[in-house]
Chain A
Amino acid sequence: MSAIRVENLEKTFGDLTAVNKISFQVEKGEIFAFLGPNGAGKTTTIKMLTTLLNPTSGKIELDGLDPTIHRNEARQRFGIVFQDPSLDAEQTAYENMELHGVLYKVPHKLRVQRTEQLLKLFELWERRNDYVKTFSGGMKRRLEIARGFLHTPKILFLDEPTLGLDPQTRNQLWTHVKSVNESENTTVFLTTHYMDEADRVAHRIAIIDHGAIVAMGTPQELKQQTNSESLEQAFLALTGSTIRDESATSQDQLRRFAQMWRK
């Protein structure tokens, strides 16, 4: 049985097809990278896999379970680091870890021990009693990641985990990902825009563009297929070099932001 199985998965928002009938499988213990330009549909796919969004059509299996039906059982099997912020800014770093540990039923002793270990690893231990709202962007990001590793799920989703991180922390992160993958046989499903990272850690890669998968294989295979030296070249060969029109979304975001503060 595969860790993740997706068949003809589709998601539309009104006229826009964000994910267009994609199919793929991720085996247990595999590190699978999902790469694609901005707006390709990566986050939307992850949201459907993690019960945050209902698919328009298609089938999903997580560890043999359909997350649209057995939502709670499916949630017990994965952990996730979101692309967008998801911390409680009004609580301290330690409290955020604690809350996560309780929600994920990490036994008290283990929770205390792992919290200390992870906050030290991501260099937040000294600031553990500070409110998250006082953290820099990179520190918040590190806390999101530390929190994501607090429990040990069968499947780990990492949506652009290295966004806004310094090289030291990026390195630390991937080392840690590899080590849990090896020691716990954790399946990892990740997205990133840094091709060298994907090349370094991923066993297999799928490239998604405009909601459809355009290529899939090991980093080696993708490079051979496109006659490229590097994964970056292969990526550009497969997805073209035009910049994606994200004006609509950034405008939406601005509008949303304005709405929030208009009283």
Chain B
Amino acid sequence: MSAIYILWLRELKRYVRSRAQIAASLGQPLLYLLALGFGLGPVFQKAGQGSYFQFVAPGVVSMTILFSSVFSGIAMLWDRQFGFLKETLVAPVPRIQIMIGRTVGGATVAVIQGLLVFVVAIIAGFRPHHWVSFFPALLFMMLIAIVFAALGTAFGSIVQDMQGFQLIMNFMVLPIFFLSGALFPLENLPKALVIITRIDPLTYGVDAMRGALISNIQFGFSVDTIVLCLIGTAFLTAGAYLFSRIQL
């Protein structure tokens, strides 16, 4: 058994064991899915855009993965407060392995959360164009999860207190979500918003998810994949660097 595996396993165990947290973290996505999905449906339909529920479901699944993966990275704050982080930081294992174990663990949990929301969406009436499209969608879910778990680890390595945590949640994660096109189509937007949505990594994740599930894609799979991989590599590098520099 390796260090990466045991730390990955730890993230998974923590997730499975905290049933209350699972329920709590599903609440918000379900609200978006059901309230917005059905609430905005008529307006969307009138504008000639088809079913909003079909449109928003891939976005809400992406959102779930975003929140869950960033959160798992920043949750390092608790390991810092309760001291467990020290135990891993003095271990005779390159810190990059510790970082990868934690990050991939967080990403795995995020994908599971995303799948749960996906299942609820299907129960509520979401229909992918082809059932086989589930597999490319799963692949993009994993990519999104890795990108943002790495970002979470980078933040977790520098955040020292609850304020920092709140700051990042409000000024990084919420904007990433709202400006990604998860909730609205990216066509006919004001110029400024177009630019912002283009630099939001989640935009490409949501685009690819929609492409896979409801054949509604703007940038194309290759652009989405390349952008996500590049950003993922950048975030992983930043995360590894910042994690290796943690002092306690």
Contact = CB atoms under 8 A, between A and B. Distances in A.
Interface string A81-93: 0101111111100
B2 interface: yes
B87 A256 contact: no
B92 A52 contact: no
Contacts of B166: 263
B84 A87 contact: yes
Q: Is the interface of B mostly helix, strand, loop or mixed?
A: helix
B19 interface: no
Contact of A104 (B92, B94, B163): B92
Interface in B72-122: 81-84, 86-94
Interface stretch (A72-80, A162-170, A179-187, A225-233): A72-80
Given A90-B17, A103-B93, A259-B162, A53 B248 contact: yes
Nearest to A108: B1
B17 to A, nearest CB: 7
Interface range, A side: 35 or more
Given A54-B247, A102-B1, A256-B161, A75 B91 contact: yes
Contacts of A263: 162, 166
Interface in B10-26: 10, 13-14, 17-18
B214 to A, nearest CB: 37
B3 interface: yes
B83 A86 contact: yes
A72 B94 contact: yes
A103 B3 contact: yes
Interface range, B side: 20 to 34
A82 B10 CA distance: 21
Given A87-B84, A98-B6, A100-B87, A47 B92 contact: no
Contacts of B2: 102
A91 B1 contact: no
A207 B2 CA distance: 41
Contact of B92 (A75, A95, A256): A75
A200 interface: no
B92 A105 contact: yes
Nearest to A98: B6
B92 A76 contact: yes
Contact of A72 (B14, B92, B247): B92
A128 B92 CA distance: 25
A95 B88 CA distance: 14
B83 A87 contact: yes
Given A52-B86, A86-B86, A262-B162, A104 B91 contact: yes
A2 B86 CA distance: 26
Given A86-B86, A90-B14, A260-B162, A52 B91 contact: no
Interface string A204-233: 000000000000000000000000000000
A99 interface: yes
A87 B83 CA distance: 7
Contacts of B248: 47, 52-53
A82 B89 CA distance: 12
B92 A84 contact: no
B201 to A, nearest CB: 28
Interface string A236-259: 000000000000000000001001
B137 to A, nearest CB: 31
Contact of B161 (A82, A86, A88, A259): A259
Nearest to A77: B92
B81 A53 contact: no
A152 interface: no
Contact of A102 (B3, B18, B81, B86): B3
Nearest to A71: B95
A29 B7 CA distance: 33
Contacts of A108: 1
A85 B92 contact: no
Contacts of B91: 75, 100, 103-104
Contact of A52 (B1, B81, B94, B247): B247
A88 B6 CA distance: 13
B1 A88 contact: no
A91 B10 contact: yes
B86 A82 contact: yes
B10 A75 contact: no
25 contacts: A51-B89, A53-B247, A54-B247, A72-B92, A72-B93, A75-B91, A82-B83, A82-B86, A82-B87, A84-B83, A85-B82, A86-B87, A87-B83, A87-B87, A90-B14, A98-B6, A99-B6, A99-B7, A100-B91, A102-B1, A103-B91, A105-B92, A256-B81, A259-B161, A263-B166
